[in-house]
């Protein structure tokens, strides 16, 4: 199975290193790249889409749907990650395992060192012993209600039913929860990528939350009650 890698970028701050890791470790994989003209001219990709940045959700919907015109699944990648030699292969191997078990996958997401707790390496809720500086759970596939698509696979059918909402923050929370309500399940793979962290939409948590709340209140009020207890 080959799924292209779809990336949306705003300023391309870390994109050169990210693309170099793709070319080094999985050069046969097509890359679909979206960003402003001032950034796009500096980078090579199999398919480029030039567009003014709007928000994480709308921008990624554009490039993902572009990739899904040619393929039946896609790997979404942040512009602030770096692949390891096995990142893509292990992710796709785990996608096949989950699909073969008829688990109706939504997202299958890589682990990293800076994202949600359920995806982070060295996250150990079971209190298991550490072995050779790595928890044994890190080599296993884990169920997760919500993931962040730092480096994550999704099929065309699932994405068509649940695209991202037009948000910067909470776009992944909304989409993953929508998928779960439709009967899909999200998973964390044994795959790993290094994540620089918070380079895509910023680091001001209060501002980004306040920016998202009006849309959430109007379109997913039940999620607001659940997430904010209000």
Percent of the chain residues topping a pLDDT of 90:
56
Decide if 220 is inside a domain: no
Is 212 a domain residue?
Answer: no
Task: List the single range of 1-10, 87-96, 209-218 with lowest mean pLDDT.
Answer: 209-218
226 assigned to some structural domain: no
Please count the other Cβ atoms lying within 10 Å of the Cβ belonging to residue 35. 27
Which secondary-structure segment (H or E) carries 213? helix 205-219
Q: How many helices (H) and strands (E) does the chain have?
A: 8, 9
Average the pLDDT over 41-49 and give the result.
Answer: 89
Greater confidence, 18 or 209?
Answer: 18
Tell me whether residue 9 is exposed, middle or buried, using C-beta atoms within 10 angstroms of its C-beta: 0 to 12, 13 to 18, 19 or more: buried
Using the structure block, give the residue that is written with the tokens 């990624």: 60
Higher pLDDT, 77 or 203: 77
User: Is there a domain that residue 194 lies in?
Assistant: yes
Residue 29: inside a domain: yes
The tokens describing 176, both together, are 């993953």
Is the separation of the CB atoms in 209 and 169 below 8 Å?
A: yes
Q: What pLDDT shows up at residue 137? A: 64
Q: Residue 56: is its pLDDT beyond 60? A: yes
Using CA atoms, how far residue 131 sits from 112, 114, 134, 135, 211, in Å, is: 18, 21, 5, 6, 43
**Sign (positive or negative) of CA dihedral 21, 25, 27, 30:** negative
CA 224 to CA 216: how far, in whole Å?
7
What's the pLDDT tens digit per position in 178-205?
999 999 999 999 999 998 765 555 566 6
Structurally, the chain folds into a number of domains equal to 1
Q: What is the dihedral of CA 196, 202, 203, 209, to 10 degrees?
A: -130
Digit-coded pLDDT (tens) for 136-165: 667 788 899 999 999 999 999 999 999 999
CATH of the domain at 45: 3.90.550.10
216 assigned to some structural domain: no
Answer whether residue 209 is part of any domain.
no
| DSSP-derived secondary structure letter, 196 | -
Considering only 37-41, 42-46, 218-222, which range has the smallest mean pLDDT? Answer: 218-222
Q: How far apart are CA 188 and CA 133, in angstroms?
A: 20
Q: Could you tell me which of 101, 81, 51 has the C-alpha nearest to residue 191? A: 81
Structure tokens at 1: 């199975």
Q: What is the pTM of this model?
A: 0.87
Taking Cα atoms as reference points, which of 182, 161, 170, 178 lies closest to residue 215? 170
Q: Domain of 79? A: 5-202
Q: How far is CA 107 from the centre of its chain?
A: 8
Q: What percent of the chain has pLDDT over 70?
A: 88
Mean pLDDT of all residues belonging to the chain: 86
Type and span of the H or E element at 18: helix 15-25
> What are the structure tokens assigned to 76, written together?
């979404």
In a domain, 73, yes or no: yes
């Amino acid at each position: 199975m080959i799924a292209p890698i779809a990336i949306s970028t705003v300023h391309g701050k870390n994109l050169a290193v990210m693309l170099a890791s793709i070319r080094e470790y999985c050069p046969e994989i097509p890359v679909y790249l979206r960003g402003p003209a001032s950034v796009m001219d500096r980078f090579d990709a199999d398919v480029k889409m030039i567009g003014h940045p709007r928000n994480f959700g709308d921008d990624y919907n554009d490039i993902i749907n572009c990739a899904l015109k040619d393929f039946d699944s896609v790997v979404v990648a942040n512009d602030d990650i770096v692949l390891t030699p096995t990142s893509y292969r292990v992710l796709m191997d785990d996608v096949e395992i989950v699909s073969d078990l008829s688990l109706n996958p939504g997202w299958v997401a890589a682990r990293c060192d800076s994202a949600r707790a359920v995806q982070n390496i060295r996250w150990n809720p079971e209190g298991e012993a550490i072995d050779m500086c790595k928890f044994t759970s890190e080599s296993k596939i884990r169920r997760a209600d919500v993931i962040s698509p730092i480096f994550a696979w999704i099929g065309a059918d699932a994405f068509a039913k649940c695209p991202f909402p037009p948000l910067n923050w909470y776009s992944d929370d909304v989409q993953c929860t929508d998928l779960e309500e439709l009967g899909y399940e999200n998973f964390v793979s044994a795959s790993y990528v290094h994540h620089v962290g918070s380079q895509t939409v910023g680091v001001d948590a209060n501002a980004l939350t306040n920016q998202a709340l009006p849309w959430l209140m109007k379109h997913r009020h039940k999620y607001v009650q659940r997430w904010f207890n209000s």
